[in-house]
Homo-oligomer: A and B are copies of this chain.
């Protein structure tokens, strides 16, 4: 395909759009840890943002459920392993740089956030501060026995 671009630009473009980015996200970025957005497949609500390394990505594909890498605990985190609120993966997208992942999921239990809200984004900017919007679906104390 000739875009009227210099040959080197076409070569770089082709490389980006094919071999390097179609097979897997580009884990050479972000020290191997890429942001992964979870969006409710039915409602479109953005639920949370986690991080994936290559192993988390492979586990997500293998299990069909979202597996992240916990930056605080420094280990794989199969979302829902404690609460039962797993995320069943319905579709996976990658962005133009292949360094951000978007999961469309079915959120088991109706809540992604450990605070008990459907979405982790439960605080909205009022113009001067963030105020809680929405209602809790569960009581964190009843779900997490060892906080």
Using a CB–CB cutoff of 8 Å, the interface residues on chain A facing chain B are 3-5, 9, 21-23, 35, 37, 39, 43-46, 48-49, 91-98, 100, 102, 113-115, 117, 120-125, 128-131, 133, 141, 147
Number of copies: 2
> In the complex the two chains form, what is the Cα distance from A94 to B49 in whole Å?
11
Q: State the Cβ distance, A112 to closest chain B Cβ, in Å.
A: 10
Contact between chains at B48 and A123 (CB < 8 Å): no
Chain B minimum-CB-distance residue to A48? B95
A141 nearest CB neighbor, chain B only: B3
Q: With A and B bound together, what is the CA distance between A92 and B124 in angstroms?
A: 6
Contact B92 A125 (CB under 8 A): yes
Could you list 16 further interchain pairs (A-B, Cβ under 8 angstroms) beyond the known A92-B125, A93-B130, A98-B130?
A: A5-B147, A22-B130, A22-B131, A35-B35, A43-B44, A46-B46, A46-B102, A49-B100, A91-B125, A93-B122, A93-B133, A95-B120, A96-B113, A96-B114, A96-B117, A96-B122
